[in-house]
């Protein structure tokens, strides 16, 4: 019987590419380092970013849109659920 390999969502391959360079630059001013694993992998930081991206907190990010799709939000949520893999 073949066993299917489980692929975890990773920051470098799956999450970081979701952010536009303009998002990264705009948020850096506020100390939000969207492209830095060492910052983003702290659960409180990831949850806060998710809350703004999903509209749970206002203003919804990214400012001026476009809003993240459900697929993009699910990738980020799965990454958090998978244990913040690099």
Q: What angle do CA 36, 41, 46 make, to 5 degrees?
A: 100
Nearest to 32 by CA among 23, 84, 3: 23
Q: What is the C-alpha separation between 1 and 61, in angstroms, rounded?
A: 46
Mean pLDDT of 45-53: 98
Mean pLDDT of 39-43: 98
Q: What is the rounded average pLDDT for all residues in the chain?
A: 94
E strand spans, 3-60: none
CA 59 to chain centre: 17
Q: Name the β-bridge partners of 80.
A: none
Q: What's residue 1's pLDDT?
A: 63
């Amino acid at each position: 019987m073949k066993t299917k390999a489980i692929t975890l969502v990773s920051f470098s391959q799956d999450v970081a590419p979701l952010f536009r360079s303009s998002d990264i630059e705009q948020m850096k001013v506020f100390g939000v380092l969207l492209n830095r694993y060492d910052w983003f992998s702290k659960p409180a930081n990831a949850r806060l970013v998710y809350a703004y991206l999903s509209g749970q907190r206002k203003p919804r990010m990214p400012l001026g849109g476009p809003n993240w799709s459900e697929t993009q939000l699910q990738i980020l949520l799965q990454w958090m659920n998978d244990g913040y893999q690099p």
